[in-house]
Amino acid sequence: MRKIYLLISILLTIQLSAQSNIAFSVDMTGETFTQAYVSGSFNGWSGTANPLNDMGGGIWEVILPLTDGEYEYKFTYDDWTGQDTFNQGDVCTITNYGNHNRRLVVAGADQTLPTAPFNDCYEDTDGIDGPHNVTFIVDVSGYAGGFLGSGVTINGEWNGWCGNCNPLADQGGDIWSVTLPLDEKAFQFKFTMGAWDDQEFFTPGDIQTATDGANTNRYIQVDGDKTVSYVWEQPEALGNSDFELATFKLFPNPTQDNWNIKSNNREITSIQVYDVLGKSVKSIKPNAFEAVIDASTFTKGLYFAKIDSDSGSQILKLVKR
């Protein structure tokens, strides 16, 4: 028994300490300095902990092993003699407490980041500009307030927090959505009821939020067409994908045993099921036009299924009785 506990402990330690190799690259052309660095929340914003290598032609690079998480960082030089300088809303940044930094999400996979110009975002120089079509989807089944009847709206920096300028459409089953053409920028936003009859509230430091003065909001980096799904007052996005609504047939729902999913014209390649906190709880690869999700081991509550097909993805709400 002691050996089993030891093995479990070792496996947990390996899982918790898993790291991904992240390749940082910056073009320092035009800057006068001796040594370039990357400084961020992963190294305590040290000005000298992670030096970059001079690759020639103004390009400096380094590969760092980082654990899963959300990070802020900047390229700097000569122990903070110089640093990246941004404005609020620059597409590659997040603004927290008045500080404008680059943002990085590490999620269990190696990444090679595009070479970014010093003081600028790669997206500003990639030749692809907005506006981009962004579909916002939110599940409000957990909303406990009394203002759902006034309709779900979305407020953000793109509409001046105007109130009910951008209402969402009721898709049924407590799912609401809207598609907006947005500039290629980083925006703070939140879901609201009506013209500020009610709103989401978050705690400073929540994942995928930004704190600006006394307000903590969601944020999104618009760098292309995308669809993003959320749960009311759950800060982390459920998923990012390009998909259409109401493509697959789901029955029975709610269920006590199994959910059946059918598609008349799209092969279902994979299904990933998440709980309301965004944790993956089941994964299957049907490679067929029909699939069954075994719900017998699930506890009662709300779940979401991300369904991948040969022409896109869709997220469905699942209810276990």
pTM (two decimals): 0.68
Tokens for 200, please give them: 């989401």
Residue 310 included in any domain? yes
Residue 121 included in any domain? yes
**What CA–CA distance (Å, rounded) separates 240 from 315?**
10
DSSP strand pairing (249-251 vs 215-221): unpaired
Give 295's DSSP letter: -
**Same structural domain, 35 and 98:** yes
Domain final residue pick, 108, 125, 142: 125
> Which domain range does residue 44 map to?
20-125
pLDDT by residue, tens only, the chain of 321 residues: 444 344 334 344 434 446 889 999 999 999 999 999 999 999 999 999 999 999 999 999 999 999 988 899 999 999 999 999 999 999 999 999 889 999 998 877 889 999 999 999 999 888 888 899 999 999 998 898 899 999 999 999 999 999 999 999 998 878 899 999 999 999 999 999 999 999 999 999 888 899 988 899 999 999 888 888 899 998 887 754 433 343 577 888 888 899 989 876 678 899 989 887 777 899 999 999 889 999 999 988 888 888 887 666 777 888 888
**What CA–CA distance (Å, rounded) separates 94 from 102?**
6
**Same structural domain, 290 and 205:** no
Question: What confidence tens digit (pLDDT) does each residue in 286-302 have?
Answer: 999 889 999 999 988 88
* Contact by Cβ (8 Å): 289, 298: no
* Number of residues that make up the chain: 321
Q: How many domains does the chain have?
A: 3
How many angstroms separate the Cα of 243 from the Cα of each of 123, 182, 231, 239, 310?
A: 23, 18, 17, 11, 11
Residue 283 included in any domain? yes
**What CA–CA distance (Å, rounded) separates 253 from 246?**
14
Domain with residue 302: its CATH number is 2.60.40.1930
Domain with residue 39: its CATH number is 2.60.40.10
